[in-house]
Amino acid sequence: MFKKIIVGVLVVLITVGVCIAMPVIWGYLSLVSDDPTVWESAIVDFEAMDREISPPQDAVVFVGSSSIRNWETLAEDMAPLPVIQRGFGGAKIDDIVYYVDRIVTVYKPRAVVLFAGSNDLIGYTNDKTPEEILASYVTFASIVHTTLPETHIYYIAISPTGRRWEQWPDIQRTNRLIYEYTLLDPRLSFIDTTTVLLNENDLPNDDFFWSDQLHLSAAGYAAWTSVIRPILHRDLLEATTSPFVTRL
């Protein structure tokens, strides 16, 4: 009887351990993979959600990685603008390009807010160069504007984080390249959220991140909102003739 109890306990512990470890393992495998189809199930889930509840019309699509997915107060923070939240954790910029027709253009949004590239600069051997990320961004914008030529695209700067501080020089270069490219097209804007996430020593502010020094905390999202919301409201609610572009 005692042996059966021990065996039962071990089975439970192993099962719990596997359940805890699997998301971590999957997250790692997704980051090291350059195959966008690893996210197919996440995209299918979005499509199932759309069949169950029709997404709003003339909305702003927020698309990107976990920073978009985890933004629990997005709808409230951007109100009264209707939003569609399409973030999937660990996504790289080419993953978003691959699925753009299924998670962006399908909604015919009035605007798109993109946060991507952070998972392409993490210190792995398959990291992209800043120039390669720019090229992928250009491809994304081209696909969107081929289908929706009047849709404005906002790019949120890649964030400075403690976890990936060694990559900060490449992140800064990526942000700079994309910012400069947005100046060439009035339908593109760059939103610089980097400064608001830094402390007085120009280091990532720990108050704005989870303990993993990577993902935004509630305070971090509030900081993001303080920068992003005024820009979207000015452009999309006040109907200004010249889209506002933040300056680095």
Whether 40 and 28 map to the same domain: the answer is no
Judgement on whether residues 119 and 207 belong to the same structural domain of the protein: yes
Mean pLDDT of the chain: 89
Buried b (16+ CB within 10 A) or exposed e, 225-238: bebbeebbeebbee
Task: Say whether both 144 and 172 belong to one domain.
Answer: yes
pLDDT surpasses 80 at 7? no
CA 221 to chain centre: 12
Q: Are 186 and 180 in contact (CB under 8 A)?
A: no
pLDDT in tens, 93-149: 999 999 999 999 999 999 999 999 999 999 999 999 999 999 999 999 999 999 999
Contact indicator for 85, 112 with CB cutoff of 8 Å: no
- Specify the pLDDT at position 242: 39
Same domain, 1 and 100: no
Q: 40-77: b or e for each residue (b if 16 or more CB lie within 10 Å)? A: eebbeebeeeeeeeebeeebbbbbbbbbbbbbeebeeb
Contact 204, 161 (CB under 8 A): yes
Tell me the per-residue pLDDT of 201-244, one tens digit each, with 9 for 90 and over: 999 999 999 999 999 999 999 999 999 999 999 999 986 443 43
pLDDT tens digits along 69-106: 999 999 999 999 999 999 998 999 999 999 999 999 99
Taking the model in full, what pTM does it have? Answer: 0.85
- Report how many domains make up the chain: 2
In this prediction, residues 162-188 reach a mean pLDDT of 98
Structural domain contains residue 247: no
pLDDT score for 38? 97
Residue 243 lies in a domain: no
Q: Which DSSP symbol is given to 7?
A: H
